[in-house]
């Protein structure tokens, strides 16, 4: 029966025959090369390579170099001096900073986040990476609620960033 149907279809003219046949399968169709990206498929010639067309990208500098050098997420340090600094141009105010000698011996400037602090000279603090965007030269933060630096008092939101315990509910 199937062979009779096939021979009947083959006798029809080519224009009417295509409407009866099933559409071509897409299983065998291969995707075009690099169809998933918009970058060019440029291949350099040997002479272009010799002349230096392949220039590698520069490695990124770490934002917190003293921590990256020692492969540590945080480091312990001792405060040498506590003070304030002025932020960069459009901003104004006083940013609390501390000069800290790390356990590696390097001296850095770290930002003290939050309102109020109890850092004094010779306080032992924990230093993490992360620059203060509007303070020049400040590439580190002190961790609130760790070692001698207490958490921010009466903090309700974002307590984990400022080392504040959960308030008691009666």
pLDDT in tens, 155-167: 999 999 999 999 8
CB-count exposure of residue 167 (10 Å: 0-12, 13-18, 19+): exposed
- Cα(111)–Cα(128) distance, integer angstroms: 10
Per-residue pLDDT tens digits for 46-94: 998 999 888 888 889 999 999 999 999 999 999 999 999 999 999 999 9
Residue among 86, 138, 136, 95 nearest 115 (CA): 95
Q: Which domains does the chain show, CATH number per domain?
A: 65-161 (2.40.50.140)
Which pairs from 89-92 meet CB under 8 Å and 24+ separation?
91/134
């Amino acid at each position: 029966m199937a062979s009779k149907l096939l021979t009947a279809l083959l006798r029809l003219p080519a224009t009417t025959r295509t409407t009866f046949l099933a559409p071509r399968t897409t299983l065998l169709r291969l995707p075009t090369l690099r169809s998933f990206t918009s970058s060019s498929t440029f291949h350099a010639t040997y002479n272009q390579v010799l002349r230096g067309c392949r220039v590698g990208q520069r490695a990124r500098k770490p934002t917190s170099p003293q921590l990256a050098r020692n492969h540590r997420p945080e480091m312990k340090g001792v405060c040498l001096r506590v003070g304030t600094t002025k932020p960069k141009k459009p901003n104004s105010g006083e940013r609390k900073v501390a000069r800290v000698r790390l356990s590696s011996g390097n001296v850095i400037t770290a930002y003290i986040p939050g309102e109020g602090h109890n850092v004094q000279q010779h306080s032992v603090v924990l230093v993490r990476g992360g620059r203060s965007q509007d303070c020049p030269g400040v590439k580190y933060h002190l961790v609130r609620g760790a070692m001698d630096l207490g958490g921010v008092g009466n903090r309700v939101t974002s307590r984990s960033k400022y080392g504040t315990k959960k308030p008691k509910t009666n």
